[in-house]
Amino acid sequence: MALQPAAGVRDLNPREVEGNRRIADQLAAVYRLWGYQEVAPPSFERLDTLEAGGGIDGRELVRLASDEPLGLRPELTASIARAASTRLADRPRPLRLWAMGSTFRSSMAEGGSQRLHEQLQSGVELLGAQTAAADVELMRLLLAAAGALGLQAHHQPRLLVGHHGVLSALLRQLPEQQQGTARAALTNFDPLALAQLALPDSDRQRLGNLMRLRGEPAKVLYQLEQWLGPIPLLTELGETLVAVAPAAERLGVQLQLDPSFQPHFALYDGLVLKLVCQGQEVPVEIASGGRYDALVGRFCPEPREAAGVGFGFDVGAVRELVAPAIESPAPVLVAYGNPKHLSAALNQLEALHQAGTCAELLSGACSNQAEAEALGQARGCGRTLWIAP
Amino acid sequence: MITVALAKGALLKDSVARFAAAGLDFAGLLEPGNRQLMVPSACGQARALLVRNADVPVYVAYGQAQLGVVGYDVIREHQLPVAQLLDLGFGGCRMSVAVKASSGYRRASELPAHCRVASKFTGCAQAFFDALDLPVELIHLAGSVELGPITGMSEAIVDLVATGRTLEENGLIAIEDLFHSTARLVGHPLALRLDDGPLQGIVDRIALVATPRGR
């Protein structure tokens, strides 16, 4: 019998589960205040839905052995976009939805064996709004949700903001056959690959400068405008960031415009976001998201409604980062000495429950009160209620 | 604090010299009799982890080290998400296919289909033979792979070749190169994006003293 879980997955203890629930509740309370309604997308879907039009590498999907090509969801967005365009198609736009659940990814471990990763995600999707106002709402909501998590100054929260369209506009200045390699080199932070591109020195130099360009939005936007001219995309991005800046400042989140940043999953075709905090030793990514209009367009026949923005928090990563204080009440142990008193003990137990007191039963009769109290202490009970024989 | 992962063995001396030129002195790692695996820099601003060659990209990919020095062969073999920042030029060698000199094979594509190939670098070997469209049976060995063809266990090996003397002394010859490998400075991509200057400063100072091949 296998005593270990499958490679890569974890057993959570009660404290960790309670921590996750606390964080998920904090996030959900914020989503609800902003008018978002909860949905529960399925844990598994058809593979073509999960692959999100090529945005997600099929090798990262955990496939099910079934008659149909099915797999476990690697993220929540594609399933919600599908549901929004089918079952919820009649609802007025914009649709504001939130969801929480486990996501699953597969990777190849050293030696070629499969490794699974399970992650509890909580996030929102704002569907059917193509405007920059939706981008602003999403970022402000992300900040408001992060603000509810109890992040401290030493976590140094930083919101990385990129834009698929801006990066594409910069890459369009290169010969077409070099654009894909240059994009991969920039987003993977690979200056050696950039240096090997068959391009004039001036183009390589500019790409090198682009890889180093990040930081305070106004300065980065100024530099981008030198390269791209005053295009509407930059003006819009500038206005979005100006609208977000006061909330970021109030919450102590540093805004970093990072034109060459792209998230792991290539779902996005507009704004992209990643909220990063400083953990004890390493930076921790606690949320990511962005705009995914093309993904919605795969499911939605009405082009005007083919729009979506969303983000997801990694609940486990937040828990490990902020380590929420869990104060669960120590239960009362109800113990009895005579096996015939089981029913009386259960009556006492239920009386305590009705008074709102957490109480548990010692399973089986116990020889004396001292032994019952010792057992109660060992179980972490606050006190022991002894029913004498 | 900046943490740097350095590989034990042939690359260590040159790695320490490059960081020294960039202002981080890890000379303590080179002292005879040093048993410490984590050594602070003389300035106290950084620390170095002394790890096995193949573990350098692991420490960097997990973010425990922001920078590391490792051979390109290891990066190709383990395919971890690390940023390749600089070709440091030292530790040059080739990843080659070698066979018994008496075998008559002079190109990898001449090897018979489904033949056995022994290697420590089965990832690199698999990718190479896949690209050739030549199905082979790969045998993973932890070292002394030259014994594969000598004992008749395999027709060929894929291994690192520096001077070629080991091959020669064992009656083998290299017939095709997969790639040329040199030491690389690698970094944690997210740490580099979050860097406000110190990390990139080290990379730039090392770049001034790096001597990649071909320059």
Q: What is the pLDDT of residue A272?
A: 96
pLDDT > 90: percent of chain A:
78
ipTM above 0.90, yes or no: no
- Mean pLDDT along residues B174-201: 95
Lowest mean pLDDT among A113-117, A191-195, B159-163, B201-205: A113-117
Q: A256 phi and psi, to 5 degrees?
A: -125, 110
- Mean pLDDT along residues A375-382: 93
Lowest mean pLDDT among A94-98, A196-200, A310-314, B175-179: A196-200
CA A269/CA A265 separation, integer angstroms:
11
In the predicted structure, residue B214 carries a pLDDT above the cut 50:
no
Give how far B178 is from chain A: nearest CA, Å: 18
The residue in chain A having the minimum alpha-carbon distance to the alpha carbon of residue B66 is A282
Q: What is the pLDDT of residue B44?
A: 84
CA B40/CA B26 separation, integer angstroms:
7
Q: What is the pLDDT of residue A51?
A: 85
A258 in B contact zone (CB under 8 Å): yes
CA B19/CA A321 separation, integer angstroms:
32
In the predicted structure, residue A53 carries a pLDDT above the cut 90:
no
Give how far A247 is from chain B: nearest CA, Å: 21
Nearest one of B175, B180, B138 to B160, comparing CA atoms: B180
In the predicted structure, residue B19 carries a pLDDT above the cut 60:
yes
In the predicted structure, residue B135 carries a pLDDT above the cut 50:
yes
Residue A25 or A267, more confident: A25
Give how far B66 is from chain A: nearest CA, Å: 9
Residues of chain A found within 8 Å of residue B192, distances taken between Cβ atoms: 189
CA A328/CA A83 separation, integer angstroms:
38
pLDDT > 70: percent of chain A:
99
Q: What is the pLDDT of residue A264?
A: 77
- Mean pLDDT along residues A26-32: 98
The residue in chain B having the minimum alpha-carbon distance to the alpha carbon of residue A159 is B194
Q: What is the pLDDT of residues A249-291, one digit of tens each?
A: 999 999 999 999 988 778 899 999 999 999 988 999 999 999 9
SS3 (DSSP) at A5: coil
Provide the mean pLDDT of chain A: 92
Across the interface, of A190, A193, A276, the residue whose CB is closest to B194 is A276
In the predicted structure, residue B147 carries a pLDDT above the cut 90:
yes
Residues of chain A found within 8 Å of residue B86, distances taken between Cβ atoms: 191-192
Nearest one of B142, B120, B126, B131 to B71, comparing CA atoms: B120
In the predicted structure, residue A328 carries a pLDDT above the cut 60:
yes
What sign for the dihedral angle of Cα B145, B150, B153, B159? positive
Contact B184 A214 (CB under 8 A): no
Give how far A21 is from chain B: nearest CA, Å: 27
**Environment class of A239 (CB within 10 Å of its CB; exposed 0-12, middle 13-18, buried 19+):** middle
pTM given for the model: 0.90
Q: A101 phi and psi, to 5 degrees?
A: 170, 175
